Amino acid sequence: MIAEDQSETIEFLSDPATYGLRSGKVETIETHGAFVFLAGERAYKLKRAVKFEYMDFSTVDRRRAVCETEILVNRRTAPEIYLGVMAVVRIASGNLALNAPDTSLEDSDIVDWVVEMVRFEDDSLFDRMAEQGRLTTEVMTALADQIVQFHGDAEVRPDMGGCAAHRAVIDTNHKQFLRFLGTVFDKNLAESVTKAAREELERCGGEIERRREAGLVRHCHGDMHLRNIFMFKGVPTLFDAIEFDEKIACVDVLYDLAFLLMDLIERGLTDIANQLFNRYLSHVAIPDLWRMDGLKCLPLFLSCRAGIRAHVNASTAAAQTDDGAGQEYIRKARKYLAAAARYLESPSPYVVAVGGLSGVGKSALAGWLSPKLGRAPGALWLRSDVVRKRLLGKDPLENLGPEAYLSEVNELVYRTMLEMVERAVRAGQSVVVDAVFAREDERLQVASGARLAGADFEGLWLEAPREELTRRIRNRRDDASDATVDVLERQLKYDLGKLGWIAVDASGSAEKTRETAHKALEGWLDS
């Protein structure tokens, strides 16, 4: 609901002369909660005078408060971007002007408030980078690392979150769906999403509460999707965090991440979503394996995020004056509601183990399989090289000495991976396990553990000639594996025992290996 007429302020902020610009024009970006005016090297954000159940900017005082909060919460991640709050005032002539916050003002002079920001290039926004195919593995690795650090530093809020908070999200989503029945949403689909979400909350509510009690409800971002991330000085940077409601911002860290995962998936970027998911978990779940249990909550978290996106797009459609734009927002709203339903489906989990000697291409195949296996955002990818280094407190690209490969360390790595497999499967997540698996007992244990936890299991044993393995090892660059040709020579002397896994010829191209693996796992993979 629109609470005040801001047309005069919008016209004023749309005028280049307001900012002392002699030429050019002011670009305007509209969202459901704000107008952003791009003027020269600055951006000015005006809160819309609207009142929704989940967001109230209906008075000048409220808009000032949320502007000030916006500065505080976003300086956590983008301190060089958020400059301050400015007042839109009426001067003696009756015209409007922008005043710095330290200027003495009478309340009667203040018309509205804006957030002043440093402007950055649109092409640095992650949604643009996604459209242009620039979200590389390196970029997503850096983004995951930034999010892990942000969540780790965020204020713990045990007074927020939990089952009550998620119940409120489901209820709010449902009320918003009802506003647009017939015009935007199908009644049966909206009702089924709400019913399934409530049932899912009952199923995973205990884990949600355990996570809150363990300190995983924190003052997070709250609106972490691609358009609220940009590349600044070569570093992925979060901005535009939720400022108007702590209940939305103070959430489980996995629920915070779920918005970004959902955004990537709905853009068709499932491979990238899976990369982000696995990099994040490789930080937070080793050695804190109990955090794997939170994957049980992920379908609900993804569904709630898609539901929010659905009704926000419906609200935005209703505010459009251009019919074409309105229809596009309606299309998006329906798409997100369908996604909210899809995330609550419960496919059975799978575990695929990929074994073979060093240089055979295990990780190349495992990384390709992971986004295609199981429920969103794809399978957990457990790479022994990465697990080993995380257990030892090292970066995956850091080379380790021989002491890191002693038998007791090897046993710890395999035990850890086995426990992670079992926890992930019990939480409903599929897993790809990537290790040499040279010993028969290791292969038997991972198969048994996966099946006992409730997953279907398949093992793939990759093979290639010695000369090809040697060539690949010598050509490796920037890889988590520390294997050398000497290591390979020792492996070639192993007694592998009875394999019992599907043999895959990996001597040719990566595409040929993938084709063979796809046939071996027929019916398990999303194309």
Determine which helix (DSSP H) or strand (DSSP E) holds 187, and give its type and residue range. helix 187-213
pLDDT for 196: 99
Burial annotation 363-397 (CB, 10 A radius, 16+ → b, else e): bbbbbbbbbbbbbbbbbbbbbbbbbbbbeeeeebe
State the CB neighbour count (10 A cutoff) for residue 458.
18
CA 466 – CA 468 distance, rounded (Å): 6
pLDDT for 426: 98
CA 100 – CA 94 distance, rounded (Å): 18
pLDDT for 399: 94
pLDDT for 102: 53
What are the distances in angstroms from CA 334 to CA 165, 174, 306, 328, 344?
25, 14, 10, 10, 16
User: Across-strand partners of 229?
Assistant: 238
pLDDT for 107: 59
- H runs (alpha helix) in 320-376: 323-343, 362-369
Smallest Cα–Cα separation from 128: which of 37, 223, 40, 230?
A: 230
pLDDT tens column, 50-99:
988 778 999 999 999 999 999 999 999 999 999 999 999 998 888 999 98
What are the distances in angstroms from CA 231 to CA 16, 126, 128, 224, 361?
27, 7, 11, 14, 32
Catalogue the long-range contacts made by 265-269 (C-beta closer than 8 Å, 24 or more residues apart).
265/302, 265/339, 265/376, 265/377, 266/306, 266/309, 266/335, 266/336, 266/339, 267/130, 267/226, 269/130, 269/135
pLDDT for 128: 98
pLDDT for 525: 94
Quick one: DSSP state of residue 5? Answer: -
pTM value? 0.94
**Regions of the chain where pLDDT drops below 50:** none
Domains of the chain: 7-119 (no CATH), 126-343 (3.90.1200.10), 350-520 (3.40.50.300)
